[in-house]
């Protein structure tokens, strides 16, 4: 069996590729638009040649093709941006990012790799693009363009069915060139569901840093007397189990919000503007997660309490002086907790220079690498039969 040598398109920081080295799979060429993400990728995968730039730029596209041919790539993994389709985005049918799939298809047709893995959000199945002056669904476009050359196996995969502690679903296409006489199957679902309690329940509590109190230690310690002790205990586990930074009003309402509930359901401590005016919103924002379920889908804005289903489940810790129940961990997941629920290696070699926003946004756009590992294991099984 020939060694798998790959091209990664829209490679982000390399979340998907985290376990491919373990399988002796080489990603030789990668392409990423954003310079910081490309630099991050190169830090983790120094042996991969990173081509930085926009694949829609003819010069960049030609460079990707030329270098891929030079190294003899035989598989492509591509994860085009999904913001135009995602339920967490605007779902604009005219979003230019939806059409980036056409560059992936062009690359496949030019390079003719033996194997292809395409993944995106399930909304891809209902998204249309312009093709031959007609509006066509992306799945129909993929199959019309590649059906004559590839056997195509596609499925919406639920990450929770593969021991990943996250309720993330992805639309995945596995393709095998028709002259390769094998069937690339998806891994069979597993019975064990990994909950947040299983995944991160053992980690020490972390109090958030209150943005307004960064320079006022006295006020911070009035709210969180054990802030520095907890911070030190967290850092003993990992430098990435550190306090997220949140606005005081967000921290306050989440202290009074129990597991699985939204602060919008609170009678007194509900979401307010800076001027104290009550705001309206949906109950899946300012919301605590549940210990006995996998994490909700990790989104790009996983660092914001006010975004979708981002807040740590917390635990009941007592009552305030007025008899109201309060709960621990009024914060989003730490970077370490994100790493765990995304199934990344605990010791993933994140560069020190990467800021929190870059790390969080990039992880939120990734696909759990344990799923990718299991999918490629299935390819190896088929090749070795």
Torsion over CA: 173, 16, 122, 129 (sign): negative
CA count, 13 A, side-chain hemisphere, 280: 0
Q: What is the Cα–Cα distance from 296 to 120, expressed in whole angstroms?
A: 17
Torsion over CA: 263, 264, 269, 273 (sign): positive
Q: What is the Cα–Cα distance from 385 to 259, expressed in whole angstroms?
A: 48
| Orientation of helix 58-71 relative to helix 101-111, angle to 10° | 40
Q: What is the Cα–Cα distance from 20 to 380, expressed in whole angstroms?
A: 12
Selected catalytic residue, list 82, 107, 108, 176? 82
Sequence-distant (6+) residues with CB within 8 A of 228 are none
Active site residue 82: yes
Torsion over CA: 55, 60, 66, 67 (sign): negative
Cβ atoms of 44 and 27 closer than 8 Å: no
The closest alpha carbon to 167, from 186, 194, 187, belongs to 194
Cβ atoms of 166 and 308 closer than 8 Å: no
Give catalytic residues, as residue numbers.
82
């Amino acid at each position: 069996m020939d060694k798998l040598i790959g091209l990664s398109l829209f490679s982000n920081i390399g979340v998907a590729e985290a376990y491919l080295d373990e399988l002796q799979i080489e990603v030789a060429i990668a392409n990423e638009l954003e310079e910081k993400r490309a630099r991050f990728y190169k830090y983790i995968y120094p042996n991969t040649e990173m081509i930085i730039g926009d694949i829609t730029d003819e010069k960049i596209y030609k460079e990707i093709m030329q270098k891929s041919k030079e190294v003899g790539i035989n598989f492509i993994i591509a994860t085009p941006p999904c913001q135009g389709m995602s339920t967490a985005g605007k779902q604009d049918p005219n979003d230019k990012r939806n059409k980036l799939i056409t560059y992936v298809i062009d690359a496949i047709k030019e390079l003719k790799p033996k194997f292809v893995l395409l993944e995106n959000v399930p909304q891809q199945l209902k998204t249309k693009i312009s093709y031959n002056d007609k509006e066509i669904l992306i799945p129909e476009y993929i199959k019309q363009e590649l059906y004559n050359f590839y056997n195509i196996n596609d499925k919406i995969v639920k990450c929770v069915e593969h021991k990943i502690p996250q309720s993330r679903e992805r639309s995945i296409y596995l393709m095998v060139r028709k002259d390769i006489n094998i069937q690339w199957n998806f891994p069979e679902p597993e019975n064990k569901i990994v909950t947040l309690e299983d995944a991160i329940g053992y980690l020490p509590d972390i109090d958030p840093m209150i943005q307004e109190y960064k320079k006022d230690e006295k006020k911070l310690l009035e709210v969180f007397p054990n802030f520095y002790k907890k911070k030190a205990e967290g850092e003993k586990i990992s430098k990435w189990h550190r306090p997220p930074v949140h606005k005081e009003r967000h921290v306050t309402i989440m202290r009074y919000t129990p597991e699985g509930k939204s602060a919008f359901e609170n009678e007194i401590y509900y979401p307010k503007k800076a001027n104290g005016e009550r705001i309206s919103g949906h109950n899946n924002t300012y919301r605590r997660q549940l210990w006995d379920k996998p994490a909700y889908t990790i989104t790009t804005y996983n660092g914001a309490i006010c975004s979708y289903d981002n807040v740590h489940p917390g635990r009941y810790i007592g009552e305030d002086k007025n008899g109201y129940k309060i709960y621990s961990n009024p914060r989003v997941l730490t970077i370490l907790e994100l790493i765990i629920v995304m199934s990344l290696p605990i010791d993933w070699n994140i560069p020190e220079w990467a800021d929190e926003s870059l790390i969080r946004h990039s992880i939120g756009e990734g696909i759990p690498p344990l799923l990718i590992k299991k999918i490629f294991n299935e390819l190896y099984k088929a090749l070795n039969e």
